[in-house]
Structures are given as C-alpha cells and as structure tokens.
Amino acid sequence: MTAMIKNTLLIGLLGFIFFQCVGKDNNGQVALLDENSQEAQKLYLQYCSSCHGSTVEAFADRVWKHGKSATDIFQSIKKGYPNDGMPAFEGSLSEEQIHGLVDYIQTAITNIERYGIEDEVIESDTFKTELLTFSLDTIASGVGVPWGIGFLPDNELLITNRSGRLYRIDANGNKIEIGGVPDVHSSGQGGLLDVVIHPNFEANNWVYFAYSGIKRENGRTLSATTVSRCRLIGDQLTESKLVFEALPYADSRIHYGSRMVFDDQGYLYITAGDRGDTYGNPQNLKRGGGKIHRIRDDGSIPEDNPFYHIANAMKSIYSYGHRNPQGLTLNPFTNELWSTEHGPRGGDEINIIKSGANYGWPVITYGINYNGTIITDKTEQEGMEQPLHYWTPSIAPTNLAFVNSDKYGDWKGSLLVGSLRYRYLNRSVLVDNQVVGEELLVKNIGRLREVKMGPDGYIYIGVETGYVFRLMPIDGSDS
C-alpha cells in the first residue's frame, strides 16, 4: 500500500530561492544576498538553526507568539524567553548583529507571503537503505505530537499527544480518545509526555504517564516532571495516583526528561531533565531534576537505591549529572539501561546508566552554550562517566530502541535513535558497545519523537507531523 505523507514544506525550492537571492529591491524584485544578509545567515546557522531549523523560511512561517514586527523580533532575540527555551542573546550578539538577524527573518517572512508555501506530497512507497528496503505502514494519523507509544495486549496501542490527549488505536486501526488523563501543563516543552504499560497489565490494567505536572502558587503556574499511575478500564482512566514528582516545581517549561521504562524485576525508571537550572539541579542530590530515578510500581522506593541511606538525598535517585535525557530503554541483549540525552550546543550523548553514577553535567560536557559561550573546558573528570557516544553537532536525540527481532535481517543488534533536529531515524551499528557506523533512515520525514520495538517485532516511530508509522520490510530484503 502506498503511504502518503503530507508533511514536508516546499523548502527545497524556497531554500534555493533564498540561498541565491535573499532580499529585495524597491520594485519588489528579488535582489542578490547582500553582505549584511550573508553575515546574518552565518549567525542564524551558527546560533539559531539548532532549535529553529536550518532554513530561516521554515522558522519565519510560524504562528508568531511574541509578534513579528521588527521591534518584537529584536526584543525576542535580545531578551529571550529562558523559561520557554529561547536563550537571551544580548550577552553574545551586538545590537547590530541582532538588527541584521531581524532583517534576515523579516525578509524571509516577506518572501513567504509573496511566494506562498505549500504542502508537498511525498509518495513514500519505499525507502531503500544499505541493507534492506522498507515501506511505512500508517498506524495512526492526526495525533499531534506523538510523544510516547505504549503497547497493549491484542495488537492495540496507546499514543500520548503532548498537548494532553491520549489515544487508543484498536486492532482495526480505529482511533479512540481516552478520558481521565491527568491535568498537564501543556506549554513550552511540557505536556503529556511518556506512557508505559505495566508488565502485568493483563491482571491489573495499570498504565503510567510521565508529564509536566502543575502547581499553582500566588498566581504563578509552576510545573515539575511527575508520574501518575492510572487504571485503564474501557476508554477511561480511573484511580489516578501520583507516584513520582521531581521536586522542586519551577517556572521553567523546558527540560522535563520524562522517559520511563520497567526493568525485568518490575522497577520503574524515570528520566528527569535539569529544567534549565544548570547549576541548581543536576549535581544536587536533594533535588529531583537532572536525574534518573528508580521506584517500585506503587511509587514506593527500593531500599537498595544508591542514595537511599544518604541524609537529605532524594531517595529515588538512581543516577545524576544529567541534562535532558529524553530516551530510555532496556538493552534486550544485556539487560542494561541505556539512555540518550540532549547536550547544549553539541555534546548529545548515549549513556549506559549505572546505579549511583554521575554523568557529569555541567561539570564536564562536549557541548557549549547556545549563545556560543563556554560552559566548561572539561570533557572528563575522575568520578564522572564518559558517554558511550556523543554527537557534535547535536542531532537532538529522542527515544532509543534496539532492533531485537529477525524481521530486519542484519539490522538486528542495531540501535535506533530519533533525531528531532535533522528529522530522521539514526541507525547506529554497535560493536562491543562502540558506535562503529551510522545510517540515516527516513530522512526529512519530520521531527522524529518516538521509536519503539513493538511486541510484533516491528519498529514503530512517532513523527511530530501527527503520524505513527510501522516500518515494514519489503519482500526479498526481509530475512
């Protein structure tokens, strides 16, 4: 069956136009890129593209939240919105450089208004890769940002949507909205994030949700990475119980972490990001941010957790010194816990998570600040773990999964990681826990948010264009 993906903007053509000739003269004619815009383009690529995408026109085509007048854009760049993940650039860019960026962005806005921007229909029948050919089977569409996928018995699945909706996809492919979802703070990077199904779901119907939980205090809305356990009965969640909170609650709406996984002994691991509080959270064992936590399925804390007996430490902490780990999985071949983590600019990591270990943020890192300033000149220090692998420039890694079935031939044993920034699925070839090769799959599909192996042995991916797909090997390349 032909999978039709209607998602990619007509960036290719526009990109060509803009690369050749950003700017216009008084007659509305497109003029050659002048020196100032060349400088601005360089700044944009260096300082902005990691979050806003490499083509300024894709950024300029947004629904503007803070206004698109020159004054508004200038203010946005200068002061930033740190709680929402937009850094302030007043310390690292001169006013002249900021004015250059404002012109550059406004030219892109003008050009989009003039040339329009359309959906491109990709006839994505097949994707040829180094080792096999596959097609995409559409499991669900119209699911917004599908942050997490959980597999229920009988070929059903649950999909969380970041803005706070939860869908069940039944065996016939019908999409049913589930009621009773916990109250989430859907703002910035927050919302309804991961979902995991209890290993003994058939007996207890428990489902776990990681999300940005809300606390209202003196007119402020604060949030924290929280986990609730609910019973899924029919199309309704009931008996919701808060089982975890990464304290303290804060104004920030970034870096929630929020991936979860059960190990084979029934312990639940939860990633909590540093909430943007680089110096307050990750190295402080009294606080929940910048950690990976380990709890029992009822929220109680195992006595053999590494800091359980340390006075004042948060007893659920399993490892610390993390920035924003958004990927967590159990290596099916070794039973180790593997995690991906967003670095700052550069230094995205893959780590094997060990009890009590310190992963070093922000004391050591392979990245630098978004505004170009140095965080630390150290990449290693005694007592701190080295990543198994790191990506510079950042790919913005999301969840990870090991190919453990025989459906994909020699892909077996490969590690899959979603890239938000470059919109592809990364396949890493591992030998003795070293990444010895990488292949980029489903390029330009959209921000790839979730990847999981299904119980049927197939790879499932969630893309921020609102789709969940299954990768189906095509006859002849299947083993």
Using CB under 6 A, list all residues that contact ligand HEC. Answer: 47-48, 50-52, 62, 64-67, 73, 76-77, 81, 84-87, 89, 101, 188, 370
Least spacing, CB of residue 78 vs ligand HEC, in Å: 10
Closer of 51 and 352 to ligand HEC (Cβ):
51
Least spacing, CB of residue 87 vs ligand HEC, in Å: 6
Contacts with 338 (C-beta within 8 Å, 6 or more apart), sequence order = 327, 328, 329, 330, 331, 350, 351, 352, 353, 400, 402, 415
Write out the H or E segment, with its range, that includes residue 230: strand 220-233
Q: How far apart are CA 210 and CA 226, in angstroms?
A: 6
Least spacing, CB of residue 89 vs ligand HEC, in Å: 5
Is 255 considered catalytic here? yes
For residue 34, give both structure tokens. Answer: 């002048």
Catalytic site residue from 255, 293, 342, 389: 255
Contacts with 371 (C-beta within 8 Å, 6 or more apart), sequence order = 47, 87, 88, 89, 91, 92, 93
Least spacing, CB of residue 411 vs ligand HEC, in Å: 32
Cα separations (Å) of 402 from 326, 339, 412, 428? 16, 12, 8, 10
Q: Are 160 and 194 in contact (CB under 8 A)?
A: yes
Closer of 52 and 215 to ligand HEC (Cβ):
52
Q: How far apart are CA 355 and CA 293, in angstroms?
A: 10
Q: How far apart are CA 433 and CA 357, in angstroms?
A: 18
Of 364, 354, 428, residue with least CA distance to 397: 428
> What one-character-per-residue DSSP string does 122-163 give?
EE---EE-SS-EEEEEEEE-S-SSEEEEEEETTTEEEEEETT
Closer of 79 and 354 to ligand HEC (Cβ):
79
Closer of 189 and 428 to ligand HEC (Cβ):
189
Least spacing, CB of residue 212 vs ligand HEC, in Å: 14
Least spacing, CB of residue 438 vs ligand HEC, in Å: 24
Hey, which residues are catalytic here? 255
